């Protein structure tokens, strides 16, 4: 009896020890991957604190000999960067209001109203997800040039009052459909018109999806360099921050716009979405999952 | 004021009575208007937007693809001339198409497999995995232009990667290479930084699979690999399929090379991608007609690819 008990105890401790070893190994693996993935940020921060000589020298250096925090103050005082930041914020503030409002507005119609053409419009809207955007680019450029929209921020903002993209409308519609119609029907009986029902019932209910849409609108507009690149005509274009960084990257600029300064701009540019991500990580990750599950 | 209130019950009654009594035509139109007014009001922005910003430009670019339009007042139809030039004369077209197809068809499987492995790692039943998930997803929120800036520098001659390779007496030009193999493979390496996005998708796929299925398979004596092949893959197939399709469509339109490749094209066009070619023809060379033809080629290419994938899906996977 005693012998059997002992051996079974042995097996138990062996299994446990195996589990612990496995757990430790997996944690070491996860930490190594995390270090690899975090390294580029670290590299960027280090570069942003170097002097110009250190950045362009052919010998490799990971740490700056003396951290140059003045690189950051240079950006904050540079009127070019400040103006670019202003343009980016104009675009973002407009879209932060326009996209969630128009997307949920349209989605409310799809989720709560019956009308002729609903299925066709919905199917066509979804098919635009598969449509390469380059197909519409050239005619839109010509159209914008005719109505004087080139070299302005209109192409980056005005089209967004029409729903801001199929994916947002689709997500908001699915979300609204998952909510019982009871409150809506009650309001209907009380005599609330559809517009009132949208503003006072539909919109507040959409709050979780609104947050997801807004963060995405923020990050996509914050990092968008291609839109400004297409809709610009000449250098008098009101450059956004992402476009300015892109432009300097492509044109190998000098002086205030050398690598170390650009790296500092890059740090500032990635800091903002990173902070947003840390605050709203739950909504974002759930939203990405929703995005992916639509198939 | 004209009341916008009309409950569904009321609507139904009205429709029924309208169906019974043969009403004059104008009454019928009024009826249709009354029943659909609300829905139409809500989707009006979308319909207007789709018409102006999608439908009109699509048709217009299809028309221009048969013209030698350059933005000048006068332009002439050239029949299939743009397409003939594309396939027979354009010195970079096949190179660019090859680059793009190679990039798309290799990067999608790489991302799928590596993000699957990462997802299984952070799907282990430990408390700490939540924090690791956040760290792994973080690079996905970094703006593309910043990661272009950063990776161009890390891949440079005096950058960290060559420093590392130098330990083994090696050296690579990465993005500055004249060979598409080396240059595009460097993009794969760069994309490893943002596999957190794929990880999240896999994690949500795992979440949707009932645990009982795994337990049943375990009792039946299925090993880890068998469980992956016979439970995980079939159960997450619809979602993975959808993501493969959208990822392929996305990568075929990839223009991120603009931020880090020399001239947006790489040395000797080693990083020249299709979307960048269209951009150059349209906005650098002002060849709107030819750019339209190129973009319609891409549209049809993507359309055929999607159709083939959906056909293959119907052969492999049958929804019960």
Residue B133 above 80 pLDDT?
yes
Residue with tokens 């699957």: B116
> What is the pLDDT of chain B when averaged over all its residues?
87
Predicted confidence at residue A7, as pLDDT, reads 57
Q: Which residues in chain B touch residue A162, judged by CB atoms under 8 angstroms apart?
A: 45-46, 48-50, 52-53
Tokens describing residue A78: 């540079």
Q: How confident is the model at residue A252 (pLDDT cuts 50, 70, 90)?
A: low
> What is the pLDDT of chain A when averaged over all its residues?
86
Rounded mean pLDDT, A176-193: 83
Contacts of B85 (CB under 8 A, 6+ apart): B290
Tokens describing residue A231: 């809709």
Q: Which residues in chain A touch residue B70, judged by CB atoms under 8 angstroms apart?
A: none
Of A170, A290, A29, nearest to B207 (Cα)?
A: A290
Contacts of A159 (CB under 8 A, 6+ apart): B49, B52, B53
Rounded mean pLDDT, B206-213: 84
Cβ–Cβ under 8 Å, residues A193 and A206: no
Is A273 exposed, middle or buried, given 0-12, 13-18 or 19+ CB atoms closer than 10 A? buried
In angstroms, rounded to a whole number, what is the distance separating the alpha carbons of residues A48 and A43? 9
CB contact under 8 A, A292 and B201: yes
Predicted confidence at residue B4, as pLDDT, reads 43
Greatest Cα-to-Cα distance within chain A, rounded to the nearest angstrom: 95
ipTM above 0.90, yes or no: no
Domain ranges of chain B: 1-50, 91-316
pLDDT in tens, A85-136: 999 999 999 999 999 999 999 999 999 889 999 999 999 999 998 888 899 9
pLDDT in tens, A207-241: 888 988 998 899 999 999 999 999 998 888 899 99
Predicted confidence at residue B46, as pLDDT, reads 96
Tokens describing residue B93: 């077209």
CATH 1.10.3720.10 fits B91-316, yes or no: yes
Residue B6 above 60 pLDDT?
no
Residue A30 above 90 pLDDT?
yes
Is A25 exposed, middle or buried, given 0-12, 13-18 or 19+ CB atoms closer than 10 A? exposed
CB contact under 8 A, A115 and B64: no
Q: How confident is the model at residue B5 (pLDDT cuts 50, 70, 90)?
A: very low
Residue B77 β-bridge partners: B67
CB contact under 8 A, A225 and B208: no
Q: Which residues in chain A touch residue B141, judged by CB atoms under 8 angstroms apart?
A: 219, 270, 273-274, 276-277
C-alpha distance from B239 to closest chain A C-alpha (Å): 5
Contacts of B37 (CB under 8 A, 6+ apart): B4
For residue A153, the 8-state DSSP code is S
Please state, for a pLDDT cut of 90, what percent of chain A lies above it.
43
Q: Which residues in chain B touch residue A229, judged by CB atoms under 8 angstroms apart?
A: 258, 279
Q: How confident is the model at residue A192 (pLDDT cuts 50, 70, 90)?
A: confident
- Give the closest of A109, A192, A294 to B39, CB-based: A109
For residue B271, the 8-state DSSP code is T
Number of other CB atoms surrounding residue A34 within 10 Å = 16
C-alpha distance from B217 to closest chain A C-alpha (Å): 22
CB contact under 8 A, A281 and B193: no
Predicted confidence at residue B15, as pLDDT, reads 47
Predicted confidence at residue B13, as pLDDT, reads 45
Predicted confidence at residue A235, as pLDDT, reads 82
- Give the closest of A33, A129, A266 to B149, CB-based: A266
C-alpha distance from A58 to closest chain B C-alpha (Å): 5
Predicted confidence at residue B167, as pLDDT, reads 85
pLDDT in tens, B89-98: 999 999 999 9
Helix ranges (DSSP H) in B51-143: 56-64, 81-84, 93-121, 129-137
């Amino acid at each position: 009896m005693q012998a059997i008990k002992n051996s079974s105890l042995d097996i138990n401790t062996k299994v446990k020890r195996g589990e612990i070893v496995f757990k430790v190994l997996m944690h070491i693996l996860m930490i190594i991957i995390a270090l690899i993935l975090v390294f580029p940020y670290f590299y960027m921060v280090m570069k942003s604190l170097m002097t110009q000589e250190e950045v362009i020298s052919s010998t490799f250096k990971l740490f700056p000999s003396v951290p140059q925090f003045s690189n950051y103050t240079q950006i904050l005082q540079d009127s070019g960067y400040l103006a670019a930041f202003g343009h980016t914020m104009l675009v973002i503030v407009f879209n932060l209001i326009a996209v969630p409002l128009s997307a949920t507005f349209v989605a409310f119609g799809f989720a709560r109203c019956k009308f002729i053409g609903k299925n066709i419009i919905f199917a066509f809207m979804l098919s635009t997800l598969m449509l390469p955007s380059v197909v519409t680019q050239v005619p839109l450029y010509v159209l914008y040039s005719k109505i004087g929209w080139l070299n302005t921020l209109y192409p980056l903002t005005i089209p967004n009052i029409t729903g801001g993209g199929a994916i947002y409308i689709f997500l908001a519609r699915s979300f609204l459909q998952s909510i019982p119609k009871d409150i809506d029907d009650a309001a209907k009986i009380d005599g609330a018109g559809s517009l009132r029902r949208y503003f006072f019932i539909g919109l507040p209910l959409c709050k979780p999806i609104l947050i997801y849409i807004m963060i995405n609108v923020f990050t996509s507009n914050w990092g968008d360099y291609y839109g400004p690149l297409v809709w610009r005509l000449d250098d008098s274009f009101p450059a956004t921050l992402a476009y300015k960084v892109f432009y300097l990257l492509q044109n190998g600029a000098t002086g205030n716009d050398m690598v170390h300064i650009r790296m500092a701009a890059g740090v500032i540019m990635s800091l903002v979405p990173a902070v947003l991500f840390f605050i709203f990580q739950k909504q974002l990750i759930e939203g990405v999952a929703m995005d992916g599950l639509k198939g | 004021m004209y009341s916008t209130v009309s409950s569904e019950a009321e609507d139904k009654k009205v429709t029924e009575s309208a169906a019974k009594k043969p009403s004059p035509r104008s009454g019928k139109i009024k009826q249709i208007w009354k029943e659909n007014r609300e829905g139409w009001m809500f989707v009006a922005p979308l319909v207007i937007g789709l018409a102006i910003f999608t439908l009109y430009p699509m048709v217009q670019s299809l028309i221009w693809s048969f013209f030698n339009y350059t933005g000048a007042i006068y332009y002439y139809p050239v029949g299939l001339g743009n397409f003939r030039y594309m396939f027979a004369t354009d010195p970079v077209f096949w190179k660019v198409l090859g680059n793009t197809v190679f990039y798309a068809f290799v990067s999608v499987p790489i991302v799928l497999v590596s993000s699957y492995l990462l997802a299984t790692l952070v799907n282990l039943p430990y408390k700490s995995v939540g924090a690791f998930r956040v760290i792994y997803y973080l690079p996905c929120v970094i703006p593309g232009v910043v990661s272009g800036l950063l990776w161009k520098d890390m891949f440079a001659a005096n950058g960290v990667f060559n420093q590392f390779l130098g330990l083994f007496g090696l050296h690579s030009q990465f993005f500055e290479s004249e060979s598409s193999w080396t240059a595009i493979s460097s993009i794969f390496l760069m994309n490893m930084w943002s596999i957190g996005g794929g990880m999240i998708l896999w994690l949500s796929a795992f979440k949707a699979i009932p645990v009982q299925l795994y337990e049943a398979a375990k009792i039946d004596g299925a090993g880890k690999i068998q469980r992956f092949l016979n439970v995980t893959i079939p159960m997450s197939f619809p979602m993975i399929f959808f993501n493969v399709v959208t990822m392929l469509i996305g990568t075929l339109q990839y223009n991120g090379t603009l931020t880090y490749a020399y001239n947006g094209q790489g040395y000797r066009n080693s990083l020249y991608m299709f979307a960048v070619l269209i951009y150059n023809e349209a906005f650098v060379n002002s060849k709107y007609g030819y750019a339209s033809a190129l973009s319609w080629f891409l549209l049809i290419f993507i359309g055929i690819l999607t159709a083939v994938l959906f056909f293959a899906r119907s052969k492999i996977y049958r929804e019960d």
